[in-house]
């Protein structure tokens, strides 16, 4: 059973990083686990579509014999990053556009093991 309190703590720590706007954990099946979706969006739609996007990227790249690391969606005013944490969950982050991919990867790597242990 997932320790939601520990996951929420990790997501709160992630959001303390400069430029990170939202952090949410999603099950591989597209259900909300913990965290906040962007203000004004429908939670169920956002988390389900995030899981579907990751799944579509995995399927479309499966024959490349290379491991998918991160799905990035560049928007006009923000960037969404979707990353597999474990077979049970994915992490979806939204950041300001000036935050680099490498900065997000560092943030994810800092917190991934704690989140994975809590899933």
Name the DSSP letter for residue 96: E
Find the largest Cα–Cα distance for the chain: 39
How far is CA 80 from its chain centroid? 8
Query: Residue 2's pLDDT is what?
Result: 82
Share the mean pLDDT of the chain.
Answer: 95
The residues near 100 (Cβ < 8 Å, ≥ 6 apart) are none
Q: Exposed/middle/buried for 105, CB within 10 Å: 0-12, 13-18, 19+?
A: middle
**H or E stretch including 75?**
none
| pLDDT tens profile 80-106 | 999 999 999 999 999 999 999 999 999
- pTM given for the model: 0.94
pLDDT of residue 1 exceeding 80, the answer is no
| pLDDT tens profile 14-34 | 999 999 999 999 999 999 999
Q: Which domains does the chain have, with CATH numbers?
A: 4-118 (3.30.450.30)
| pLDDT tens profile 47-63 | 999 999 999 999 999 99
């Amino acid at each position: 059973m997932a320790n939601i309190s520990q996951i929420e703590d990790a997501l709160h720590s992630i959001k303390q990083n400069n430029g990170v706007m939202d952090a949410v954990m999603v099950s591989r099946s597209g259900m909300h686990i913990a965290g906040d979706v962007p203000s004004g969006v429908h939670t169920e739609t956002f988390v389900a579509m995030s899981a579907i996007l990751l799944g579509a990227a995995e399927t479309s790249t499966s024959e490349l014999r290379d491991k998918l690391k991160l799905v990035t969606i560049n928007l006009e005013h923000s960037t969404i990053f979707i990353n597999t944490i474990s077979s049970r969950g994915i992490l979806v982050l939204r950041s300001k556009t000036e935050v680099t991919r490498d900065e997000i990867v560092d943030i994810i790597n800092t917190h991934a093991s704690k989140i994975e242990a809590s899933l």
